[in-house]
Amino acid sequence: MAPSGSIVIRRARAADLADLTALLQILFGMEEDFSFDEARQRQGLMLMLENEQGVVLAAENSGKVIGMCTGQLLVSTAEGAPAVLVEDVVVLPAWQDRGVGRLLMHSIAEWAVSKNAVRLQLLADRNNKAALRFYDKIGWQMTDLICLRKT
């Protein structure tokens, strides 16, 4: 289904924090590995907004933030070049399957190119079949790597 109205993808700003935090609440509600903590997520978003090696993108329609994604620049020794870690890809349920996620992912890829990144990578919840279908549909490939974490 085509997007309704005019959707703009732009850099998020501090004034968007409430909307971005609400989007993260939706995202973390779907993920087994994370719990939503409003203060923590707001702090994380502020750090991302201030990070010169990262970007927070907002999808906006009629002045309302309807989706987001973030990217952080890394150095890949495997590539011998910069890479981008994509996170926090989420779209309001009413706007899903309307091209918003595709626009966000295209925009984060453009940002990555502007930073001379040669690869984008992301982690996805293995149980989120809709997200996995989405990433497959837009050309992302699964790898044999797994994510390990220590707190």
- pLDDT tens string 39-95: 999 999 999 999 999 999 999 999 999 999 999 999 999 999 999 999 999 999 999
3-state secondary structure of 11: strand
Q: How confident is the model at residue 5 (pLDDT cuts 50, 70, 90)?
A: low
Is the pLDDT at 128 greater than 50? The verdict is: yes
**What CA dihedral angle connects 44, 50, 55 and 56, to 10 degrees?**
50
Is the pLDDT at 33 greater than 80? The verdict is: no
Let me know: does 109 contact 55? Beta carbons within 8 Å: no
- CATH superfamily label, 7-137: Gcn5-related N-acetyltransferase (GNAT) (3.40.630.30)
